Amino acid sequence: MMTSPPPQLRPDSPELADQAGEWRSAYVHIPFCARVCPYCDFAVVEGQENLIDRYVAALLAEVSMADDWDTLDAVFIGGGTPSQVSPALIGSILEALDAKFGLVGGVEVSMEANPEDITAESSRGYRTAGVNRLSMGVQSFDDIVLTALGRQHTGRQALQAIEDAHADFERLSIDLIYGDPTETEASWDRTLDSALAAGTDHISAYSLTVERGTPLSRAVAAGAPAPDDDVQADRWERAAERLSERMIRYEVSNYATADPCKYNLATWAQGEYVAFGLGAHGHRNGTRTRNVRRLDRYMETIEAGQPPIAGETVGSDWDRELERLMLGLRRTAGVVTGVGGRRLLERHPEFVDAGIIEHRDGRIVVVKPLLTDTVIREVLAVPAQE
């Protein structure tokens, strides 16, 4: 007797959010960029493409020296710009992960890419290499905004790259950034129109943030206009209104038609993951590790036969409880209340009274997403004992 497959859970379902905590993942960092964006504070390098082969060799060696672990449910290749690396080298990284840990059937392999790197040929190459979710850093479809953000593609090029990728990827995501001072309300509306018309199954929309030490922060300190918080709130609300017409918001900034990004869900559920590459952060057995952030030191350390760990943090049980809340509250599904959640509710009944959070079915849910960071700040201040 044939049985029907279980119904697919919605991207914002509590069941899926909680299941994700059991998934095992890997993060792989590719630091190379043709040009570093002025707002970026990640571990990246510009104009050092001649080191790609050496870097990938070091990365493969790092994978081989890792402790044995479970098979992987999700792999995320981020950057930097992973699409600066050839499909063949991306394939070698996935083969190394499979040889070391194993990849479950139906593993999700996500890779970030820039539109100017994606053609019909390269798209096919990455898909053949084993990538099955492509996440494209579009940021905007407005050429004026793209120039201000330091991007190297045009809106037209982004649309062409999405069209080329559609031939190979059913799971295709685009990232957007809102709130640059050059952006107008009409410009943001046009970007949302283009994003929806492109027909991708996942859209992430993030506010432009001024991070310390970046060229953007230095420009703002010198008198350049900074992003306006009120304008950014308006942009978020407009995105939520428009994108929710066709998609389901499952986290403050992320929308999907059916399949949310498994790696993202796993990290927000406090799931464990191994991490490889420059500046990469991992999480296993209650310990969070971080790799060195200087490219030459990363490669030299591995070539000397040593792991490139720069430090680790072992949180207390209470630290992990607050972290669980902090991560989980970003999700539309919220988070199981737990001890920390009960103390938050006791300390801040005004959050419920004001309709900022709801406590229902054993979960805490932020129902005014723009105030998520406000709630999280109070979570981090909850003491272990009253």
Residue percentage of the chain with pLDDT more than 90 = 96
Coil, helix or strand for 309?
Answer: strand
From the number of C-beta atoms within 10 Å of its C-beta (0-12, 13-18, 19+), residue 268 rates as: buried
> How many CA atoms does the CB half-sphere of 193 hold within 13 Å?
8
- pLDDT of residue 40 exceeding 70, the answer is yes
Instruction: Please tell me the distance from the alpha carbon of residue 377 to that of residue 243, in angstroms, as a whole number.
Output: 28
pLDDT band at 6 (very low <50, low <70, confident <90, very high): low
Q: Given its phi and psi angles, is residue 380 left (phi above 0), alpha (psi -120 to 50 degrees) or beta?
A: alpha
- pLDDT of residue 276 exceeding 70, the answer is yes
- Give the number of other CB atoms < 10 A from CB of residue 22: 12
Q: Which of 207, 192, 203, 213 is nearest to 293 (CA)?
A: 213
pLDDT band at 219 (very low <50, low <70, confident <90, very high): very high
317 phi, psi to nearest 5 deg = -60, -40
Instruction: Express each pLDDT in 150-182 by its tens digit.
Output: 999 999 999 999 999 999 999 999 999 999 999
Domain regions of the chain by residue span:
14-268, 317-380
Q: Which of 86, 254, 82, 73 is nearest to 174 (CA)?
A: 254
Instruction: Express each pLDDT in 231-242 by its tens digit.
Output: 999 999 999 999
Residue pair 101/272 in contact (Cβ under 8 Å)? The answer is no
pLDDT band at 4 (very low <50, low <70, confident <90, very high): very low
pLDDT band at 113 (very low <50, low <70, confident <90, very high): very high
- pLDDT of residue 5 exceeding 80, the answer is no
pLDDT band at 268 (very low <50, low <70, confident <90, very high): very high
Residue pair 29/279 in contact (Cβ under 8 Å)? The answer is yes
Domain 14-268, architecture per CATH? Alpha-Beta Barrel (3.20)
State the average pLDDT for the chain.
96
pLDDT given for residue 1 in this prediction: 40
Q: Which amino acid is at 235?
A: R
pTM above 0.85, yes or no: yes
pLDDT given for residue 384 in this prediction: 86
Any idea which residue has 């959010």 for tokens? Answer: 17
Query: In the chain, what is the straight-line distance between the N-terminal and C-terminal CA atoms, in Å?
Result: 57
298 phi, psi to nearest 5 deg = -60, -50
- Stretch 52-70: mean pLDDT: 97
Residue pair 88/57 in contact (Cβ under 8 Å)? The answer is no
pLDDT given for residue 8 in this prediction: 86
